Chains A and B, each alone.
Chain A
Amino acid sequence: MKYIDEFHNPELARRLLDEIHSTVTRPWALMEVCGGQTHTIIRHGIDQLLPEQVELIHGPGCPVCVTPLEVIDKALEIASRPDVVFCSFGDMLRVPGTGRDLFQVRSEGGDVRVVYSPLDALRIAQQNPDKQVVFFGIGFETTAPPNAMTVYQARRLGIRNFSLLVSHVRVPPAIEAIMRSPSCRVQAFLAAGHVCSVMGTGEYPELAGRYRVPIVVTGFEPLDILEGVRRTVLQLERGEHTVDNAYPRAVRAEGNPAAKAMLEDVFEVTDRAWRGIGVIPQSGWRLSSRYREFDAEHRFSVTGIRTLEPAACRSGEVLQGLLKPHECEAFGTACTPRSPLGATMVSSEGACAAYYLYRRLDVAPARMEASPVG
């Protein structure tokens, strides 16, 4: 795929790296907000190639990781019902709730299906009028608009057996929560390009000004990341703190007006709990009162759920950039992708999983689980 290849070019990467190396004069701590960016950084070894003074702190932007345990447990309960077809993106199936995951529900006879679009779930609802079809609507501003559109479509088509289990989250309040933390070390942000392609950059200038942090909208390919780092470091060295768009091929300042309108119609902003972090005010969406009939929590009355987070899991600190994954005592021993304590280890975009999958050479072998083969 030529379009991807262009953003993996080693010569261009070398030039960007040289420029970053020659620009940096002192230590800087940058947070990449999105788990997709963390994945790219670790998978391509970008952090190994940056100057020692540039520290990349992994942010809370993995939608799978931040979905609260309570919501996962609600999903498990709904998916276990005999009249329900529970549809989800694939990477939610392995996320542990209290005691089990959606894969286990499926193996126990639950009708749990992986779909690639919420519209697939709506089609399943049309084809199975005698079943209740539920779509697990999680994610940031990137996945919220199509989920909103699906609910809009369900109403338009009069499909009554479809509902959404919603746990959508918003990035700007999370950035604010990180900056307000007394232990915050973050001096600049690589903002998530996909989020900005929907929402634009309008929410960021106030944050950049209030907390005096550069915010550089950054894409997901290796060269995108390096360009984002380059522009961020330039600002930091110059003492600037503006919003800069280093992902212009996908992001316009105004974002995607149609997607924003759909969000506004179907959802309303609400306080939302983030797994491992806690409640962040105004950091999520729920279905607005006009669409309450499509709210799976409302339809199935899943209440009284008692959750139990593993005490040894420090994923909350990882999500806030306070702890590197391999600095956790449980990393690679009590916590592995096979038996994860927290979602940061199970999600393909989680920082712990990225370190486990790609960085095991950096960790003392004795701490790692023995290879299951040979």
Chain B
Amino acid sequence: MSQTLDPATAAGTTSAAEPEHVPQRRPKSREGNLRTPGWLYGVMAAGLVLVVIPFVWMVISSFKSEGEVMAVPPTWWPENPTLSNYEQLFSRLDFPTYFANSAIVAGTVAAGNMVFCAMLGYALAKLDFPGKRLVFGLVLGTLMVPGVVTFIPLFVLTVNIGLANSLTGMILPFLAGPFGVFLMRQFILSLPDELIQAARVDGAGELRIFFSVILPLCWPALATLGVLTFLAQWNNFLWPLVIASDEDKYTLPVALALFAIGQNSTKYGLLLAGSVVVVVPVLLVFLALQRRIMEGIAMTGIK
């Protein structure tokens, strides 16, 4: 499945506060069903183990020798832990380049979305202008269009403007993401109009108001949008696969996929080590920022 299931897509539509904003410990005045039965923790823990096993197994197995990875029955803990998968992976594939490409594409798309979406979001939330309803309808309408619909015309266009096989060609189509506009608009709507009126009374120009009054207040929403866009782009697959033809333009998922389905598909130890290299950095980023991300989704979802 593709990016449609972005957590954030949902944010604006649920009219609900996130758990973080609700008192965690409820009054225990009424005994009984609304209290947590102990077995529930057990069931949830078991479920969590099931969900996390593929990650744990991936990391552990990436330190096994090729022979042990294929062993029947499989071993759980590596008998002779080895780094050889990582050594081979980095000597065969140019991971620093893929890593840099992924970071450049995801970083630029995230930064671009933050700036452009905030600009349009502010205009749609607080300014009055001819064509406003049309712009909003157009942007909102495309939230539902599946990526594959634009895929072939976009490819023809990218080739014709000379951006095939370039990072620019990977970045441009994603710089104007409709979701970001929606998120920023929802957030800016909640900022008080009096702020803007006060700035106008003080003689600030409309653009000045945006850059020095509104934008600094948008940091919580901008951070959320930035992180979500970065994660989505880091994992983006189909478009980079189509656009990159030279190996030095591959992003991490493309390099891994082509390696996985190509001649080397029998080298499972290498593939697992490659998966670790792709997944672990984003997992760490997510874990470090999860509170902020969840709060951000909640914050923009309250309206």
Do A and B share a complex? no
A residues in contact (CB < 8 Å) with B: none
B residues in contact (CB < 8 Å) with A: none
